[in-house]
Every structure is written in C-alpha cells, then in structure tokens.
Amino acid sequence: MRKSMIAANFKMNKNIDEAITYIKEFSTLVKDVENIDIVIGASPILLYAMKNELKTDKIELSAQNVHWKDSGAFTAETSAKVVKSLGINYTILGHSERRQYFCETDETLNLRVKNALNNDLKIIFCIGETLEEREANKTIEKVSTQLKEGLKEISIGEMKNISIAYEPIWAIGTGVTATPEQAQNTHKEIRTLLKEMFDQEIADSTRILYGGSVKPANVKELMSQEDIDGALVGGASLKPESFIQIVKFN
C-alpha cells in the first residue's frame, strides 16, 4: 500500500512575511489530516524562516533544487548539505522549468540525485513531455529516457527515498489538465519502466505523483486512479484555503 503524498511547489513566489503567515495558517488547517504525506517546496531563501515557524510534524519542507556538489564556486546554487543542516528532508529535482529555462540535462540531474541521496534527502523527481512529443506519440519514449538517465546507477535501496512526479509540460500552469485516463495510462507505463529498471517491489512501492494544473475541482478524480499516488501542486498551493482542499481530497 502506497501512502499518498500531496506536495506544494511555491516556485518563485512569496516573500518572507507571506511565507511565515502561510505556514502558520496552514499548520492549523492540517491538524485533523491523517495518513498522507504533505510537503511544501519553497525558494531556499524562505526555508529557514518557514522551518522556524513550523510547529507540526504533519508538514515537511522541501528545497526546489540542489547542486551536485556540497560546496564550491557555484554562485547562486543550493547545497544539499546546507538544506539538510536546516532540518529539511526533501528536494524537488528535474522540474520542467529547470530543464527548459536553466538548461538542466538528464546527466546533470543524475549528479544532483546522487548528491541529494548522499545527504539523506528524499527526492521528488520530475519527468514529463512537451505537447509536441505527446502529439507525436513520444510520451513514453521521453519519460523512459528521463528515468533511465536521471536515475542511472541508483540502487534499489536508494529508490526507497525517491518519488516520481509525472508532469506533462503542456499542462503546467496552463489550466489544461491531462484527463484522469491520460494521467493513469502514463503512470502505469512509468510503473512498468520502474519494474524493468529495478524490480517489482520498487515498481509497486514507488509513489508516482501527478502534476499539471491540479486544483480542488479535479484532484479527487485524479487521485481515484490506481497508479496516481499524489499530486505536485503549483498555483493552487499558493493559498492555504485552496491547498488544504487538495490535501483533503477525500
């Protein structure tokens, strides 16, 4: 049985005061939430302040990226070692915006994955295809490459600290959501790929989240699909009253 995860990705939004207000308010809203992992990913400059205000163990905080080195001449990058020293246990890696706008590749993401694991961080690893790739029936080819290259040389034991987030790029921030059937079909294919890459136990136990214009109105139907284990939420996570509706999808 895979435990559901609902993760927020604030992207480059919120200042310190807004982030503190959010975490205080949202913490009160999750008091009665059980049997679900809640993760909030925020800009690294916000994480320290948010961590200091976090008074519940029902919420985990996450970096939005980490470098493949613990330290060095890498201006403006985020160190996994520093993230872990803050008491933060998660990082998002491979988000399509990082791939598209900041030239991250499967090769460099593989290095980031390894360093995050070396620093005992849990990973939400993002994969997904463009609209052109979907229309050319290359969705599985694309996500297969991203998985095989991004998770190269990762052990079965290490996979227990990795969740996959399938984010069709054409659905991120566009208001267009993959239908539950489209999402389920791709998630099922991803699970088959994980079996080929690792084993049946990893395929069965790895959480696969859906990301792409998830909101209160569509989360329940998405989460009803057999192979959808959670959601990575962008815009709809920025207001506590909206995000809590997604967390309480049941």
Question: Which among 104, 133, 167, 187 is annotated as catalytic?
Answer: 167
Question: Which among 95, 104, 129, 187 is annotated as catalytic?
Answer: 95
CB 209 within 8 A of CB 168: no
187 noted as active-site residue: no
Active site residues: 95, 167
